[in-house]
C-alpha cells in the first residue's frame, strides 16, 4: 500500500500565519476607530442635549416674565410707575400692576438659593435652574437678564438671555 503525502505547493489553499495576523491587526484598527468615533459622537450628542435643555429653561423663564402665565399678565403689561424692584438676601422681587378692564397686581420672585423664579399670586413656578437673574428699572423700561447653568458629569452648559421691556402707559 502506498501512502499519499500532502503537497504544499503553489496551488495550496489557506492563509499563512503572517497573513492572518496582518488581517487581524487591520480589523482591530478599524474596530478601534469605529468605537472612538461612536464615543465622540455620544459625547457630542450629550453636550448638545445639555445646551438645548439650558436654552429651553432660560427662554421659557424669560417668556413667562415678559408675557405672563395663564391668566396672569407679565411685565409687558405693567403700568408705568407701578413697578417696584426690591432686592433681598439671595434674590429679588419685582411687583407691578397692570391696567385695563381687569387690573392685576403680580410679582416675580427670584431665589438664588433655590435657583427659581416664581410668579405670584399663586406661587407658580415660572423658571427653574436660574443660576443668575438681574433686573433694573430705567425710566419706563425694565432691563432683565437671566442665566441658566447646567452641569452633567464633566459636561457643562451656560445660556444667558437679556431683554428690555417697555412698560405700558395706561
CA atoms of 155 and 158, how far apart (whole Å): 11
Specify whether the CB–CB gap between 158 and 54 falls below 8 A: yes
For residue 167, the model assigns a pLDDT of 81
- Return the C-alpha torsion angle 53, 56, 57, 63, nearest 10: 180
Q: Model-level pTM?
A: 0.78
The side-by-side arrangement of strands in the sheet containing 130-138 is 130-138, 141-152, 155-166
For residue 11, the model assigns a pLDDT of 65
CA atoms of 56 and 58, how far apart (whole Å): 6
Tell how strand 116-120 and strand 72-73 pair up: unpaired
Give residue-wise pLDDT tens across range 108-156: 999 999 999 999 998 999 999 999 999 998 888 899 999 999 999 999 9
Q: What is the pLDDT along the chain (170 residues), one digit of tens a residue?
A: 676 665 655 566 888 999 999 999 999 999 999 999 999 999 999 999 999 999 999 999 999 999 999 899 999 988 888 899 999 888 999 999 998 788 899 999 999 999 999 999 989 999 999 999 999 988 888 999 999 999 999 999 999 999 999 887 54
* C-alpha grid cell, residue 153: 458629569
Amino acid at each position: 500500500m502506498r501512502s499519499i503525502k500532502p503537497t504544499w505547493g503553489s496551488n495550496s489553499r489557506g492563509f499563512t500565519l503572517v497573513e492572518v495576523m496582518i488581517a487581524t491587526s487591520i480589523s482591530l484598527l478599524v474596530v478601534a476607530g469605529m468605537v472612538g468615533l461612536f464615543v465622540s459622537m455620544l459625547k457630542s450628542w450629550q453636550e448638545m442635549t445639555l445646551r438645548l435643555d439650558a436654552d429651553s429653561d432660560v427662554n421659557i423663564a424669560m417668556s413667562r416674565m415678559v408675557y405672563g402665565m395663564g391668566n396672569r399678565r407679565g411685565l409687558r403689561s405693567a403700568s408705568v410707575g407701578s413697578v417696584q424692584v426690591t432686592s433681598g438676601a439671595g434674590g429679588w422681587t419685582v411687583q407691578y400692576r397692570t391696567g385695563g378692564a381687569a387690573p392685576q397686581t403680580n410679582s416675580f420672585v427670584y431665589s438664588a438659593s433655590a435657583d427659581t423664579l416664581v410668579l405670584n399670586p399663586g406661587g407658580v413656578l415660572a423658571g427653574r435652574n436660574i443660576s443668575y437673574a438681574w433686573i433694573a428699572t430705567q425710566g419706563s423700561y425694565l432691563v432683565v437678564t437671566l442665566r441658566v447653568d447646567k452641569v452633567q458629569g464633566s459636561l457643562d452648559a451656560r445660556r444667558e438671555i437679556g431683554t428690555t421691556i417697555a412698560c405700558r402707559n395706561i
